[in-house]
Structure 1
Amino acid sequence: MNGLVVAGTASGVGKTVATLAAIRAFEDAGHSVQPAKAGPDFIDPSHHAAIAGRPSRTLDVWLEGVAGTRRNYYRGDGEVCLVEGVMGLYDGDASSTATVAEALDLPVVLVVDASAGMESVAATALGFRSYAERTGRDVDVAGIIAARAHGGRHERGIREALPDGLAYFGRIPPAEGLEIPDRHLGLHMGAEHPVDEDALADAAAHLDVGALAALAREPPRPDPREPPSRTGRRVAVARDDAFRFSYPATVERLRDRAEVVTFAPTADAELPDCDGVYLPGGYPELHADALAASPALRSLHDRAAEGLPVYGECGGLMALAESLTTAGGDTHGMAGVLPVEVTMHDRYRALDHVTLEATTDTLTAARGDRIRGHEFHYSSADVARDASFAFDVRRGTGIDGEHDGVTEYATLGTYSHVHAESGAFDDFLDSLDNQP
């Protein structure tokens, strides 16, 4: 599967809209597209999936390693893979867009905000390409998409200013229908606020699909892995508007080794019959009323107290807590499995790639193991003095700056999201096989 990276000069220049327009342009030209996202984001991929009709792959060298990033890429399904970058091309010390492009040996199309420039757009793109050359980075900046660019003289000025070796792949015209509202944690999800179809179709028509298709190339293939062993266990995975932040590769890994059944904590009457539970992240604070009244959370409390293994990440941790207080000051009772009280804030409390070291055997790691993950949350967790932690934080913030992973019974709740390539979910599944 050939691919290319749609990168930006900085956050907010229009990478997501340019990527969505490129997906639409390829689909309109008869090419099936596998979307992907550099970095650990959950929200941009939801917009990719809304346009492409298939889940977007998460490509992050910190979370997955080079081989894991390549494996995740090739688990995709399409004729061409379009990888949206994160922040600016070179930004991010753990896994920048440039790092992902290097790991996959994919060419880069740079999205440049052209709303107030012509020759300066070319100068900016040339600077990004020269930076790779001067710093020895193996990053192939092949050309640009001009964001917020008008046609006519504006477009001609940009094209004519580009030096040899930097191609012009089209423009994204300024249009209100292409704006995606945001909130804490990022943009609204794709299912909540899809981009206007007519505006996206118009933007797609201004891209040179033939030139983009000719640019795309195939990454190196990873070494094959041993097929996973089946556990014969059943895992219940929370999936509703409160719990949307799970990587496709994670659910695939669970399905590879166990039977997976989904449930909706905001709506279902009971927790399904299962041998373990995975509560991914999401927006429990937006559904606190429904969660507080949830029979499924009450049955989860009872099953967890009986020793059912339960793993909650970020939003999952919040739902497992004793209470959740919204930014407006309203307090709601949660499942009450973990000795934690969670409070929402107006500004984010942590944003980083993380490294956790297990201080004891736990659901996702053995004592002494280190696992990598990512954290991004607007809440804080007040933990009881006698609570037990499973991890020391070697990089990142965790729950209190030093620890992450509150444990109670056979339940683990962390602020860190981990990827299937970390091995954490294999440990989780193996722990289910060790249950009576």
Structure 2
Amino acid sequence: MNAPLPPGLLITAPASGTGKTTVTLGLLRALTEAGVSVQPFKSGPDYIDPAFHRAACGRASFNLDSWAMSDALLDGIAAQGHEADLLLIEGAMGLFDGAARSGASGVGASADLARRMGWPVVLVVDASGQAQSTAAVAHGFRTLDGAVPFAGVILNRVASPRHERLVRSGMEAAGIRVFGALPRRPDLTLPERHLGLVQAIEHPGLDALLSDYAAMIRAHVDLPALRQAADARARQAAAAVTIPPPAQRIALAQDAAFSFTYPHLLAAWRSSGAEVLPFSPLANEAPPPKAELVWLPGGYPELHAGRLAAAETFLTGLAAHATTRPVYGECGGYMVLGEGLIDRDGVRHRMAGLLGLVTSYADRRLHLGYRQARLLAPAAGFAQGTRLRGHEFHYSTIVAQPDAPLAEVTDAEGAVLAESGSHRGQVAGSFFHLIAPDPA
């Protein structure tokens, strides 16, 4: 690829819950309806938001993670948008929030991407409960790191025209550009559950809601000014970076119970010539017989444990595959490979029984953060000893894990963790969500 990357904007916020996803989705839909080709990205480890991005603009969204990915991989993924008119990146948490620094990689903060790629930051500021003081918040974010390009702000949850005038006066005094001010709209909210938003595929009124978001953005945000503010460091679109596929024919579970698969991994596998064969355990489908490996990604099996326990065709086909070929499970997929899954009501459901693992959602404990893993056995297409980076995000607890550990797992600061995954015969799994081989 010899073409330069299009200009980009990074939509971020001081903290989670300020409305940056709503703003991002509204921008994606409004710009697309205006004939602008927009390539979406998501900063950090997130499976749910990219699916909403795709629904909003019709283009697959890709994750960019400065902690887990090498520079070459970041450039290769960013190049997915080389034919677009604009790159639009949704941040994670607050602009500067990330892990402790380890080695030469970034901390995973959205600020890493803005600094490295030259994408100006648009800060979504929740104006609730304050007026001119919002300018102090924006001023702090603009000045904390002068290497992070700062374009301006979009005000959110503005209570009245008078409230907007007061907030704008503070921003004007601080020399901060305001691209728009969105009114409070409690009716325009996306439903949530324990791991974040309810998935896009489960939202029957999503298209109408996205159209409402776009209408609100058109009415209250200066879209031409935003496009003019977009920028990027002078760089050519990089070639795609190869992440070896775990097999040439991969049976991939895909439905409401198994939906957490990174688009950049699927794209890398396919670009290497691998064939991805989707199947649905919830529809009681067995893995395709020609598959060389079965991959059960994370998702929400705890919400569908009864259906999965009754899916005899799926369970029988999975067991038959495991007698001669490998099976790998991540997080929710790992739970399904075990002996049993205890739901939030304390009811135990029989799972595949290919591992001795028993997990419980009745005793909820949050496990969250970046993870580094060194494989103690081959898994997911990687050899023993391979070092990987990823993350963990679940509420389930381990009741029993009698099989041999799959990996030595540490957090981003190097602290050893007990959740090592396990393996038995051709079957392996872990709560660790793979992002990429270790950049080091």
Query: Which string of whole-angstrom CA distances, capped at 9 and with x for unpartnered residues, describes residues 170-219 of structure 1?
Result: 12221123212211111111232327245313321211111111111235
Alignment partner of 1:245: what SS? coil
1:88 aligns with 2:98: no
Moved more, 310-319 or 158-167: 158-167
Change (3 A) 1:231 1:185: closer
The answer to whether 1:139 aligns with 2:148 is yes
Residue 347 to residue 109, structure 1, CA distance change in 2 (3 Å):
farther
Compute the displacement of 1:9 (Å): 0.8
SS at match of 2:421: strand
**What does the per-residue CA deviation read over 1:361-381, in whole Å, with 9 as the maximum and x for residues that have no partner?**
444433333211110011122
Cα distance change on mapping 1:359 and 1:105 into 2, 3 Å: same
- The one-letter code sitting in structure 2 at the alignment partner of 1:187 is L
Pairing of 1:15-54 with structure 2 (within 5 A) = 15-54=20-59
Q: Which amino acid aligns with 1:271?
A: P
Q: Give, in whole Å, the separation in 1 of the partners of 2:60 and 2:409.
A: 31
1:334 has 2:351 as partner: yes
- Residue of structure 2 equivalent to 1:153: 162
CA distance in 2, matches of 1:380, 1:11: 25
SS in 1 for 2:369: strand
Q: Which amino acid aligns with 2:125?
A: V
Partner deviation per Cα, 1:258-294 (whole Å, 9 max, x = no partner): 1111000111442212111111110011111211111
- Work out whether 1:118 is the aligned partner of 2:134: no
> Is 1:275 matched with 2:292?
yes
Scaled by the length of structure 2, the TM-score of the pair is 0.88
Quote the residue 2:102 is aligned against. none
Name the structure 1 match of 2:194.
184
Is contact 2:371-2:390 (8 Å) kept?
yes
Task: Provide the rounded CA distance (Å) in 2 between the counterparts of 1:171 and 1:346.
Answer: 42
1:237 corresponds to 2:252 = yes
Match of 1:390 in 2: 406
1:297 aligns with 2:315: yes
Among residues 173, 176, 180, which one is paired with 1:166 in the alignment?
A: 176
Distance 1:418 1:221, change over 3 A: farther
- CA 1:382/1:268 → structure 2, altered by over 3 Å: closer, same or farther? same
Amino acid at match of 1:255: R
Displacement, 1:222? 6.3
**Shift in Å at residue 359 of structure 1?**
2.5
Moved more, 357-366 or 23-32: 357-366
Measured in 2, the distance between the counterparts of 1:187 and 1:263 equals: 24
Secondary structure of 2:325's partner? coil
| Aligned residue type for 1:335 | A
Is residue 218 from structure 1 mapped to residue 223 from structure 2 by the alignment? no
1:71 is aligned to 2:76: yes
Q: TM-score, normalised by structure 1?
A: 0.89
For 1:91 and 1:59, the matched residues in 2 are separated by 15
SS at match of 1:12: coil
Of 7-16 and 183-192, deviating more is 183-192
Matching of residue 413 in structure 1 with residue 429 in structure 2: yes
The one-character-per-residue Cα deviations of 1:213-258 (angstroms, maximum 9, x if unpaired) are 1111235346546778899831111111111111111111222231
User: One-letter code of the match for 1:293?
Assistant: A
Indicate the residue corresponding to 1:266 in structure 2. 282
Taking the aligned partners of 1:5 and 1:241, their CA distance within structure 2 comes to 29
- Counterpart code for 2:194: H
Deviations 1:378-408 (A, max 9, x none): 11223343x111211122699x933523111
Q: Which runs of 5+ in 2 are unaligned?
A: 1-5, 100-106
Taking the aligned partners of 1:263 and 1:298, their CA distance within structure 2 comes to 14
Residues 396 and 164 of structure 1: CA distance in aligned 2, closer, same or farther (over 3 Å): closer
Distance in 2 of aligned mates of 1:225 and 1:297: 36
Deviations along 1:89-115, one digit per CA (max 9) or x if unpaired, are 111223111122223221100011012
- The secondary structure found in structure 1 opposite 2:201 is coil
CA gap 1:116/1:147 in 2 versus in 1, 3 angstroms: same
Identity of aligned residues (%): 39
For residues 374 and 227 of structure 1, the distance between their equivalents in structure 2, rounded to whole angstroms, comes to: 20
Seen in structure 2, the aligned counterparts of structure 1 residues 9 and 363 have a Cα distance that, compared at 3 Å, is closer
Asked whether the equivalents of residues 271 and 297 of structure 1 are also in contact (C-alpha less than 8 Å), the reply is: no
Q: Which moved more, 1:27-36 or 1:318-327?
A: 27-36
Structure 2 Cα separation of the partners of residues 229 and 52 of structure 1: 29
Distance 1:318 1:228, change over 3 A: closer
What's the RMSD between the two structures over aligned residues? 2.5
Q: Distance in 1 between matches of 2:111 and 2:55?
A: 26
Correspondence for 1:208: 222
Equivalences, count: 416
Give me the whole-angstrom Cα distance separating, in 2, the residues matched to 1:280 and 1:230. Answer: 15
Amino acid at match of 2:7: N
For 1:174, the aligned partner's letter is R
CA distance, structure 2, for counterparts of residue 38 and residue 271 of structure 1: 32
Instruction: Classify 1:140/1:64 alpha carbon distance in 2 versus 1 (closer, same or farther; 3 Å).
Output: same
Runs of 4+ that moved beyond 6 A: 226-232
Once structures 1 and 2 are overlaid, which stretch shifts more, 293-302 or 321-330?
Answer: 293-302
Structure 1: which 5+ residue stretches go unaligned? 425-436
